[in-house]
A and B are shown apart, each in its own frame.
Chain A
Amino acid sequence: MTRPPARLRLNRVSRWYGDVLALDAVDLELGPGVTGLLGPNGAGKSTLIRLVVGLASPGAGAESQDQVAATVGGTPGAGTVTLDGQVVRNNVEALLRIGYVPDGDGLYEEQTARRFLVDQSRLRGFAPADGARRAEEMLKRVGLLDAADRKAGGFSKGMRQRLKLAQAMLHDPDVLVLDEPLTGLDPVMRRDYIRIVRELGDEGVTVLVSSHVLHEIEAMTDGIVLLHHGQVLAEGTVPDIRDLLDQYARRIRLTTPAPRELARELLQHDGLVTALELADGAVVVETMGPDRMCSLVQDLAASARHTVTTVEPLDEDLTSVFAYLVD
């Protein structure tokens, strides 16, 4: 049996929690490659992901049918989540093609990593010998072979994240859904994890990865979906989003032993600084030309007229991004 690469489609999907609307008529279509799902905490990322993997139903959770109808423009129901045209929830065929790394730390604490993966392989239809072999391959791929026979209860956060990724990849899924997968990983693990995700995307797997940190997603993919208050705020590539950001002033913190002198120097450059704030041992500037500002700071540092120890963009976190886009 052969199948084409997976296309995942969310068609006007809504989800309520009582009177709180977590997802509001979301339309989304995802194909092969990595797509980043970005949004601040509470944006609805995990809710969307659980709908994608069939753990929840679109439209459920509403206190009344009126709420549902209002959400989807009067259309009964509250959208569908389909994989190549098949509804995902309670659909064995669709679930077989999906791998999922949940958020949170949940693992069977008393089980070894190997036992966990072997059990998971059996749940996906592998024969015992094949399951054991596949578990071994996955342990190797995520770098957990040395810890294979240790109980998950003794694992660090990073090891847990890798074990969760291993179980999601066991059956070589067409769709891989990762919910905040880089949380708790040290830089080396993070680099390896990102490499694996990129490889999967290159292999044609449809990967959806959520995060609230822009640079994490940027390291994995160019394609992103911005989610805010349960709605898709923007969809496109990282440069597209950056173009959006360039319409707004950016804040940069410059750490220096002489903030007043540096501030005086910066203000001499017409139009570069739109606002300036002195802090203890630092200058926080707001500028419409972040690239020009960075060049200037480099020049100043090189000329030895000023000492600038760190240059820290204050707008990289998504809360700031969303504040810009929403305001």
Chain B
Amino acid sequence: MDARNATRTDAAARRPAPPTGLAASLAVARSGAGALGGRRRLGMLALVGLPVLFQVVVLIWGGGRGSAFANFVWLVDKIYLRAIAPLVLIFVGTAAFGDEWDGGTAPYLLGAPIKRSTIVLGRWSAAVARALVLLLPAILVLYVLCLLPFEGAMANYLGELGAVLLATTLMGLAYGAVFLFLGLALRRSVMVSFIIALVFEGFIGSLPYGFGVLSLGFHARNLVWRLTGHEGFHPPTFGLDVGEPISAAASILFTLLAGVVLFLLLSAWVLRRKQFAGGAGTDGADS
């Protein structure tokens, strides 16, 4: 028994301390990252690359017609910020934990000696990074393609481009938190997320001022408009005299970041209470 005691004492001494802070978040972000199947990666790539492909076709066969900064604005506003970005973030956000429940790998993550809030933070940052690594280059390429026919034009709209990239990043952070929370809290999270994206982004976000504040996309587009003053990002008025749209850039920024913090805190709360008990005919997680 003494020999046993010595063996276990040695083992305890050799064992590293539990990871904390950034190291823990990075470890969580990395875990399972290589598990995303090739077909799913290809699907996301195709979705994000579709407008780029469209613009290539316009460039080759359109002889420069339809290539202008206005086109870039239209594609970013109507296609990327309203549709593709939410879709990609639904995909990566709900999968951040959903895949663990479905694949039976949750015990490896939840059994790790890491605080649940750190696990949430790690998985959220991984999901957002996975989305942005596709979205930002696509928008950048689109910018180049739209302005390629016009000599020297690319340098004229760099401020607008920066604002668009910033808004997309902020939108990614916020939507990543929302969809990660839904993936944790709901069994049919993908369906609910689609409905939320459709209702809030497709409908409410397009209503005149007042209603739009309920849409994250509205805030993101509003931020671009506030920063650049480009009319293409001006919130719709439907001919109504509704006064100035909400707030300055700083308060939009605050709204988006507050949304991120709120949903991350909710996610950590849900994960801390999550029961992975199986039994009674189920083998997954139950709340």
Q: Which residues of A contact B (CB under 8 A)?
A: 1-6, 15, 17-18, 20, 22, 32, 44, 46-47, 50-51, 53-57, 60-61, 90, 92-93, 95-98, 100, 102, 104-111, 115, 119-120, 122-127, 130, 167, 171-172, 174, 202-205
Contact = CB atoms under 8 A, between A and B. Distances in A.
Contacts of B36: 110
A110 B34 contact: yes
7 contacts: A55-B275, A56-B277, A92-B18, A96-B15, A108-B34, A123-B28, A171-B15
A47 B281 CA distance: 12
Interface in B96-123: 103-116
A100 B115 CA distance: 18
Contacts of A130: 16
A204 B7 CA distance: 7
Contact of A123 (B5, B27, B35): B27
Contacts of B114: 92, 123
Contacts of B280: 17-18, 20, 22
Given A32-B4, A57-B275, A119-B31, A108 B111 contact: no
A110 B9 contact: no
B149 interface: no
Given A92-B114, A104-B104, 6 more contacts: A2-B13, A17-B277, A93-B113, A110-B36, A124-B112, A204-B8
Contact of A15 (B13, B14, B108, B277): B277
Nearest to B107: A102
Contacts of B16: 124-127, 130, 171
Nearest to A107: B105
Contacts of B276: 50, 55-56
Given A2-B9, A57-B275, A204-B4, A125 B18 contact: yes
Contacts of A125: 15-19, 23, 113
Given A20-B280, A92-B115, A106 B103 contact: yes
Interface of B: 3-5, 7-9, 11-19, 23, 26-28, 30-32, 34-38, 103-116, 272, 275-280, 283, 286
Contact of B277 (A55, A95, A107, A110): A55
A111 B11 CA distance: 28
A110 B272 contact: no
A327 B78 CA distance: 71
Given A92-B18, A104-B104, A54 B111 contact: yes
Given A61-B277, A124-B16, A53 B107 contact: yes
Nearest to A22: B279
A56 B272 CA distance: 10
A167 B108 contact: yes
A229 B264 CA distance: 39
Nearest to A109: B35
Given A47-B278, A124-B112, A204-B7, A100 B107 contact: yes
Nearest to B2: A204
A124 B279 contact: no
Contact of A17 (B31, B104, B279): B279
B278 to A, nearest CB: 6
B24 to A, nearest CB: 8
B129 to A, nearest CB: 16
